Amino acid sequence: MSDATQHLIRFMLSDIDGTLLRPDHSLSQANIDAVRRLRDAGIHFSIASSRPPRAMRGQIEALGIDLPTVAFNGANIINPDGSLLKAHRIDPVAARTSLQLFATQPVAIWVFADDQWLLLDPEGDYVEHERNTLGYDFVQVDSFDAYLDRADKIVAASKDFELLKRLEIQLNPLIADTARAARSQSYYLDVNALAANKGMALVTLAKLLGVDLANTAAIGDASNDVAMFHKAGLSIAMGQAETGVKTQANYVTGSNAQDGLATAIERYILPS
């Protein structure tokens, strides 16, 4: 009996960067074809990302996704028509605590609110990278104070990956009651509301689709994907993921440079 037959997957939720997309952020034909075969087999497919909603539109259109999608690590769930289905914003006290800690460290600090990417320093780490990824520009502000009551996501970006690991460990006990910090990439530490995680988003979408969690699959590469691994009936980590992520998944596929998503769909999801 194949893995797909054992699990009878009816819905798959995929991360975007590091999973669906290659390292250069391109969408391969192999992954497009694999997602099409899922749909042909009657298996639902959607995407969950740390990206803002408008930075996901290209992938949604390219894959013909007609289901709700997940942005900001689960802070926003977006209807197919672009309207907001659900929002979980960061508690203002947790937002201020996060920003105050980040301000003591050599990191770039960003806030996503009001459908805008807000920052203090245009010369900070990974600004140009993020601009290319999102496909739109930042808004420079003098202070984040005016946005603390409606922040979807706060990010610390740094070329010092070990620093971000330490900040993740340091920050989480300080905001544990209302928010959580998790790395979406080795160079990004994301802060979201506690209810804003990909695991809860998977639960929400499965319920909308009438699919039992046992019949869901999740695939990703980063620590912010582990929450959906814990909810899905079948979980798959990408080959380039950190060991701590891989150990949380049922299976490990190839890297995103090797179209590991397509391999996982063929090997673990589609019926034989």
CATH number of domain containing 256: 3.40.50.1000
Q: Which three-class secondary structure state does DSSP give residue 248?
A: coil
Residues 96 and 171 in one domain: yes
Give me the CATH number covering residue 169.
Answer: 3.30.1240.10
- Segment holding 261, helix H or strand E: helix 260-264
pLDDT at 7: 63
Q: For residue 1, is pLDDT > 80?
A: no
Amino acid type, 268: Y
Beta strands in 24-165 (DSSP E): 44-48, 69-71, 76-78, 84-87, 108-113, 116-119, 139-140, 151-157
Domain boundary among 167, 193, 219: 193
The pTM (predicted TM-score) of the whole model is 0.88
- Among positive and negative, which fits the CA dihedral 152, 158, 159, 163? negative
CB 186 within 8 A of CB 132: no
Q: How far is CA 115 from CA 23, 151, 246, in A?
A: 26, 10, 33
Q: For residue 254, is pLDDT > 60?
A: yes
Domain boundary among 193, 228, 257: 193
User: Sorting pLDDT into bands at 50, 70 and 90, what band is 272?
Assistant: confident
Structural domain containing residue 98: 92-193
Average pLDDT of the residues in 12-31: 97
User: Sorting pLDDT into bands at 50, 70 and 90, what band is 5?
Assistant: very low
Average pLDDT of the residues in 112-116: 96
Q: What is the DSSP string of 200-239?
A: HHHHHHHHHHT--GGGEEEEESSGGGHHHHHHSSEEEE-T
pLDDT at 271: 85
pLDDT tens digits for range 177-226: 999 999 999 999 999 999 999 999 999 999 999 999 999 999 999 999 99
* Percentage of residues in the chain having pLDDT higher than 70: 97
Q: For residue 43, is pLDDT > 50?
A: yes
Distance of CA 171 to the CA centre of its chain: 20
Report the domain count for the chain.
2
Residues 20 and 41 in one domain: yes
